[in-house]
Amino acid sequence: MPFLKLALRNARRQVRRSLLILGVTSLGVLAMVLAWSVLDGQNQQMVRNMTEVYSAHAQLQRGDFLDQPSLDLSFPASMAADLAGQPGVKAVSSRISGTGLLSAATQVRGVLLVGVDPVQEPLVTRLDRQVVQGHYLRPGERGGLLLGRSLATSLGVRPGDEVAVLAEGRHAAIGSLRLRVSGIFDTGNSHTDAQQAFLSLVDASELFGTEGEITSAALRLNSLAQAPHILQRLQAGLPCGLVLRDWAALLPSVAQSVQFHEGLAHLLMLILFVVVSTGLATSLQMSVSERLGEYGTQLALGTTPWQLCRSIVYEGLLLSGLGFLIGYALAALIATQLAREGIALPQHGDALETMQGLGQRIHPYLDPRRLPTLLAGLGLVSLLATLLPAWRAARLTPLAALRGVWLERP
């Protein structure tokens, strides 16, 4: 405790040096936390938007379906129903998916056609809350088609218009339907909205000729973070040939983006630590050089080199700790405000939309799980940065230091 009081007194006496250390540390922490919050916000948006709009937390499929999607890899719908009510599973929705052509007037577009259960699907995804025109698919109502805004614009259709659907069903059979656009959804990503069209499970079964069978079942779990453990337990009870895949396996490009952002975050942390340690070590060394007479007096009066070293280390840790608190508090205030309003990037909107799940506005997310890592890392770096000037000061020769001469003991 006496050394902490001494460190605080020394910090107050050297206001200019103390403010320099506080400034370097707080600005570094501010920049680091804001950069992390933007990267974490991007990751959260990508995962949330893609899992809540299409992929869900996990899917039940045939083993080869992900690499070679085919209607011939369908399975009985009753197998998906068996997963409903299992511990950790909140909801299950059966699906039939395949490629097809949409034709309206003179426009033709190739899309992924997804047949969903209008009752169960809203419990798994939030596509029903993304409808901006018309309405979502209604239970018991046939002949409806849900299109993304980009796809509807390219086809030149709106709710109520008729669209011809042509698709290849099982065993190379050709299926066709005439459907009416019931609604138009907007996920915020024009690339995603241009690639998919949704119809009822009954209509999809007729179109593709998969009576009583489905190609996948989408699952919403109680906890996305616990997905690997839940899926591992459920997988043990599945018949041979069926597999449960989490969102990372279903969306490899999103998973790769998350990993890239994680690596970038650690690189930024390394840069921060280099900047802070350099600034802290340099400032403390200058402070020690200016206080040679003071340290010489302390050593001459009986202060041991170890005690002098401790007081300097405590001073550095105290200032870096205060700088951390100031920087993190400012970053938290800024990140919270930006999270509410979002960061609009209209000039880079098209580039962002090529990343699945992102739109033209990023909402930073301040992840509290990063705080211990940042605090421990900064504490270790600050300790290492203060040791060199503290160790050199502890080796000073008292008489030489009293004369203002830097002379270390051999």
**Residue extents of the structural domains in the chain:** 2-50+255-402, 58-223
C-alpha distances (whole Å) from 90 to each of 38, 49, 230 are 30, 18, 12
Q: Residue 11: CB partners within 8 Å, gap ≥ 6?
A: 18, 315, 318, 319
**Degrees to nearest 5, angle at CA 156 with 151 and 157:** 85
Give the tens place of pLDDT for each residue, 156-184: 999 999 999 999 888 778 889 999 999 99
Residue 348: per-residue pLDDT: 45
Q: Please report where in the chains the tokens 């001469």 appear, as a residue.
A: 405
Instruction: Extract long-range pairs of 226-230: CB within 8 Å, 24+ residues apart.
Output: 226/88, 227/57, 227/58, 230/87, 230/88, 230/89
Q: Please report where in the chains the tokens 């938007």 appear, as a residue.
A: 49
Are 326 and 27 a contacting pair, CB within 8 Å? Answer: no
Q: Residue 277: CB partners within 8 Å, gap ≥ 6?
A: 381, 382, 384, 385
Q: Following DSSP, what letter does each residue of 338-372 receive, concatenated?
A: HHHH-EE-GGGHHHHHTSTT--SEE-----GGGHH
Q: Please report where in the chains the tokens 């990503």 appear, as a residue.
A: 189
Q: Cα 165 to chain center, whole Å?
A: 37
Q: Following DSSP, what letter does each residue of 66-116 receive, concatenated?
A: TTS--GGG-EEHHHHHTTTT-TTEEEEEEEEEEEEEEEETTEEEEEEEEEE
Tokens of 226: 């616990």
Per the model's pLDDT, the better-predicted residue between 342 and 370 turns out to be 370
Residue 19: per-residue pLDDT: 82
Share of the chain above pLDDT 90, in %: 32
Q: Residue 319: CB partners within 8 Å, gap ≥ 6?
A: 11, 18, 21, 22, 25, 280
Tokens of 32: 């680091």
Q: Residue 391: CB partners within 8 Å, gap ≥ 6?
A: 309
Residue 352: per-residue pLDDT: 47
Q: Residue 8: CB partners within 8 Å, gap ≥ 6?
A: 318
Residue 217: per-residue pLDDT: 93
Tokens of 12: 């107050």
- Comparing 34-43, 234-243, 308-317, 395-404, the range with the smallest average pLDDT is 395-404
Mean pLDDT of the chain: 84
**Cβ atoms within 10 Å, residue 300:** 12
Residue 13: per-residue pLDDT: 66
